[in-house]
Structure 1
Amino acid sequence: MIADIPPQTQLVFDNLPKATAARLIKLRALIFDTAADNPAIGPLEETLKWGEPAYLTSATKSGTTVRINRHKKSDGQYAIYVHCQTNLVERYKQLYSDVLTFEGSRAIVFDVDQAIPTEAVKHCLTMALTYHLRA
């Protein structure tokens, strides 16, 4: 079950272009669905980090923080961000370089006008939200 959007997160979405906000809300739902599918992840804490919606595994400490937001203040792109000192983006590149676009060691970048590759993204989210179980 997807939690109601907290007011502070809704405020972030309300201050974005409608198309970008809609994509981020879909991405948020995918994050909660991914967590619900894996009991090792446990409940997520939704908060803001650096003014961006952030999802933490506070109860289980199973994973690293996942953040979502517009990418570099671009109306045409949005991203999933993970901690840059993990090896997650490198691993994502090995698995999904033909399906996903990456930036540096911290982001998966999406175009607002393209569909989210759901299965690949869910796998990447699972890897992030269970990162400490393998690290």
Structure 2
Amino acid sequence: MTSLSTPVQATTMGHPAYSQTFPCEASTAEIGRTVVRDILAIWHLDILADRAALVVTELIANATRHTSSREIRLIVRRPSAKRVRVAVVDRTPSRLPALSQADDEDEAGRGLFLIDAVADRWGYDLHGSGTRPWGKEVWAELHLSKGDE
């Protein structure tokens, strides 16, 4: 089982960010939720914690289910005072995320629909140069609404 061996330390000035590499396995989702909640608490953005925890759970689940990566990188950024970006980086750039229709009886296939429903926007970026990327970053952004400040 994977465990978080060091307490979360995220900067609170400038454009704060946190990133850590974890095994690409289902048990990492629980750690990811804890990390995201801890970071948002440090940044006094607890109001986003439930949405961010759901997003990170689905991003990690997708990476474990749809990639051959042995490790993933969890990244939590605060690109502005009113915006948080949660991302997972894997080393399988050939498997790009796409919304797909799941049947009522399907037990899987709704992760991106959930992300699409709770995030203000989401997408992916390829990592690497030229025509041979080494990986991709799938991300979702959460914005503070006027009443959340």
Same fold (TM over 0.5): no
Question: Which protein has the larger Cα radius of gyration, Structure 1 or Structure 2?
Answer: 2
Q: TM-score, normalised by structure 1?
A: 0.37
Which structure is higher in strand share?
2
TM-score w.r.t. structure 2 length?
0.35
